[in-house]
Amino acid sequence: MQNQGNPKGRTYRRWGVTTIIAVYLLIAVGGIVRSTGSGMGCPDWPKCFGEYIPPTEASALPANYKDIYAEKRKEKNVRLIKYMQLLGKDDLATRLKNDPGMYIEQDFNATKTWIEYINRLIGAVIGLLVLGTFVASFQYFKTKPSIFWLSLSAVLLTGFQGWIGSIVVSTNLLEGMITFHMFLAILLVMILIYTVFQAYKTQLPEEQMQHLSLLKGIAIAAFLLTFAQTILGTQVREMIDVVAMRLGESQRGAWIEAIGLKYLIHRSFSWVVLVANLALVYFIQRGGASKLLRRVGYSVLVVTLIQLLSGIGLGYFGVPPYLQPIHLLLSSVMLGQQFFVFLALQNKRVATGHKQPLEQVVSI
C-alpha cells in the first residue's frame, strides 16, 4: 500500500512531524522553566493563580495567597498519598504528608509566573496537535491499524503527562517526579517518531548495505548507552537541585564540586557514549547507506559533539543557566536520531527495492 501522493497520508505526516517538533520545543521550554526556577511560578494547576491568564502584579492577589495555595496543594496530595501507599511507596507517602518543605510557597514573581504559564500554553497546544494527529490517523484504521492505535496511545500518554505535570506542582517539584515527567516526554517523542515512520515507510529507501546486522546492533547499543547516560544525567540534575538549595545561587561555581562521584561517573561515561556514536556514524558512512541515512548519521555526530561541549560548559563554567535547557534538549534529540537510524535500518518496503531520490523522500 503506497501512500505517496496520497493527500490524506500527507495530512497525517504533516501533523505528526509538526507534533514531534513541538514536543521537542516543549522539552526545551521545560528546561528553561527549571533553569530559571519557574516551576512553581503557578502554584495551582491547570489554572495559574486561579485564572486562565495569570496576574502581572502581586497586588492582584489576596494578601494570604501563599496560605491559600499551600492549603490547596495539601488537599490535592491527600489522594496522591493514598496512591503512593497502594504502590508500597510508604517513604514517599510519609514525606508528602510530613515534609514542611513540600508546602513552602514562593513569593509572587511575574517573570517566573509567565515563564511557567507559557510552558503550560505550549503544553496545551501540544495536546491539540496530538489530538489532530490522532484524528488524521483514522484513515489508517483499516490499512495500517498500528498507526491508529499508536496515535491513540500518544493521546492517552499526553493526558497522563498533563496529570503528572500537575503532581510535579502539587509536590513542589519533587525530584523523582521531574525525572519521571521528563522520561514520559521522551517516551511520547519515541512513540510519535515510530508512528510517523510507519506512515512514511513506503517512501523511505530500503537500506541494502554491508554490515547491516552489525550496524543495527551498534544503533541499539548507541541508543541504550545514550539512554543510560540520560538517566545518569537526571541523577546529577537531582543532586544539583539539592545542592543549589543548600548553597544558593551565589555559590553556583561550587555546585559541581559538592556533587562528587555521580557527576564524575556521568562525565566519564560520555567517552563510552561518544565511542558508540562514532562507531554508528562510521559504519553508516562506510557501508553504502542511502543519502538520507548518511545525512542523519552526520547530524548524530554534530549533535553528540555539541552535547559534549554543553556538558563541558556545565561542568567547568559553574552550570550556566542557559546551557541547562540545551543539555536536556540535546539528549532527547540524540535519542530520537538514534531511534530513527534503527527504524531506517529495519525498513523493508513492501514494494520493489529501488531507491527514490531524496527530494521526494523528505517532502512532507
Q: Which stretch binds ligand HEM (CB under 6 A): 45-53, 115-123, 282-290, 306-314?
A: 306-314
Q: What is the DSSP string of 216-276?
A: HHHHHHHHHHHHHHHHHHHHHHHHHHHHHHHH-GGGGGGHHHHHTHHHHHHHHHHHHHHHH
Q: Is 281 in the site for ligand HEM (CB under 6 A)?
A: no
Only one residue has cell 500537575, namely: 166
Count of helix runs (H) and strand runs (E) in the chain = 12, 0
Preceding omega of 46 cis (within 30 degrees of 0): yes
Query: Could you tell me the smallest distance in angstroms from the CB atom of residue 39 to ligand HEM?
Result: 12
| Closest to 316 measured CA to CA, from 273, 252, 239, 271 | 252
State which of residues 234, 290, 337, 338 lies at the interface with ligand HEM (CB under 6 A).
234
CB of 54 to ligand HEM, least distance (A): 24
Rounded least distance, CB 156 to ligand HEM, Å: 24
H/E stretch holding 144 reads none
312 near ligand HEM (CB under 6 A) = yes
Binding of ligand HEM at residue 324 (CB under 6 A)? yes
Cβ closer to ligand HEM: 288 or 321? 321
Judged by CB under 6 A, does residue 308 bind ligand HEM? yes
Nearer residue to ligand HEM within complex by CB, 184 or 212: 184
- 118 forms part of the interface with ligand HEM (CB under 6 A): no
Q: Which is nearer to ligand HEM, 259 or 344 (CB)?
A: 259
Please report, for residues 65, 282, 323, the alpha-carbon distance to residue 170 in angstroms, rounded to integers and kept in the order given: 15, 47, 27
Only segment of 121-129, 203-211, 294-302, 321-329 that touches ligand HEM (CB under 6 A): 321-329
In angstroms, rounded to a whole number, what is the distance separating the alpha carbons of residues 204 and 193?
Answer: 14
Q: What Å distances lie between residue 148 and 135, 191, 319, 336, CA to CA?
A: 9, 12, 43, 21
Task: From 277, 259, 360, select the one nearest 314 (Cα to Cα).
Answer: 259
Does 229 engage in binding with ligand HEM (CB under 6 A)?
yes
Residue 315 near ligand HEM by CB under 6 A = yes
Among 328, 333, 341, 345, binds ligand HEM (CB under 6 A): 328
**Binding to ligand HEM by residue 327, rule CB under 6 A?**
yes
**Structural contact between residues 2 and 351, judged by C-beta atoms closer than 8 angstroms:** yes
- Residue 234 Cβ, how far from ligand HEM at the closest point, in Å? 5
d(C-alpha 82, C-alpha 19), whole Å: 35
- Does residue 270 bind ligand HEM (CB under 6 A)? yes
Of 174, 148, 180, the closest CA to residue 161 belongs to: 180
Which residues are within 8 A (CB) of 225 and not within 5 positions of it... i.e. 6 or more apart?
269, 272, 273, 276
Q: Which of 38, 170, 226, 338 binds ligand HEM (CB under 6 A)?
A: 226
Number of residues that bind ligand HEM (CB under 6 A): 29
* Minimum CB distance to ligand HEM, residue 207 (Å): 25
**Could you tell me if 6 and 292 are in contact, meaning their C-beta atoms sit under 8 angstroms apart?**
no
Q: Which of residues 129, 236, 292, 333 is near ligand HEM by CB under 6 A?
A: 236
Distance between CA 17 and CA 144 in Å, rounded? 18
Indicate which single residue of 119, 230, 290, 337 sits in contact with ligand HEM (rule: CB under 6 A).
Answer: 230
Binding site for ligand HEM (CB under 6 A): 31, 34, 182, 226, 229-230, 233-234, 236-237, 240, 256, 266-267, 270, 273, 304, 307-308, 311-312, 314-315, 319, 324, 327-328, 331, 334
